[in-house]
Structure 1
Amino acid sequence: MKAVVYSKYGAPEVLQLKELDKPVPKPNEILVKVFATSVTSGDVRLRASDFPPLFWLPARLIFGLFRPKKQILGHEWSGVIEQLGSKVSKFKIGDEVFGTTTMLKTGAYAEYMCIPEHWSQGVVTKKPKQLSHKEAAVLPIGSMTALFLLQKANIQRDQKVLIYGASGSVGSYAVQIANYFGIRVTGVCSTRNIEMVEQLGAETVIDYKKQDYTQSPERYNIVFDTVGKTSKSAAKKVLKDNGKFVTTKILTKESKELLLQARQLAETEKIKPFIDKEYSLENMVETHRYVDSGRKRGNVSVVIHH
Structure 2
Amino acid sequence: MLGNALLLALRQIFRNPMRSILTVLGIVIGVAAVITMVTVGNGATQQVRDQIASLGSDSLMIRPGQRLGPGQSVGAPSFKESDAEALATQIAGIKAVAPSRTSTQVVVANGKNWSTSVIGTTNDYFSINNLTIQEGRNFEQSELRAGSAVCVIGQTVKKELFENHDALGKLLRVKGFSCQIIGELEQKGQSGMGMDKDDVVIIPLNTFQRRISGNVRIPLITVAVEPGSDIERVKESSRLLLRERRSLSSSEMDNFNILDTSELIETISKTTQVLTMLLGAVAAVSLLVGGIGIMNIMLVTVTER
TM-score higher than 0.5: no
Q: Identify the structure with bigger relative contact order (alpha carbons < 8 Å, sequence gap 6+).
A: 2
TM-score (norm: length of structure 1): 0.23
Q: Which has the larger radius of gyration?
A: 2
TM-score if structure 2 supplies the norm length? 0.23
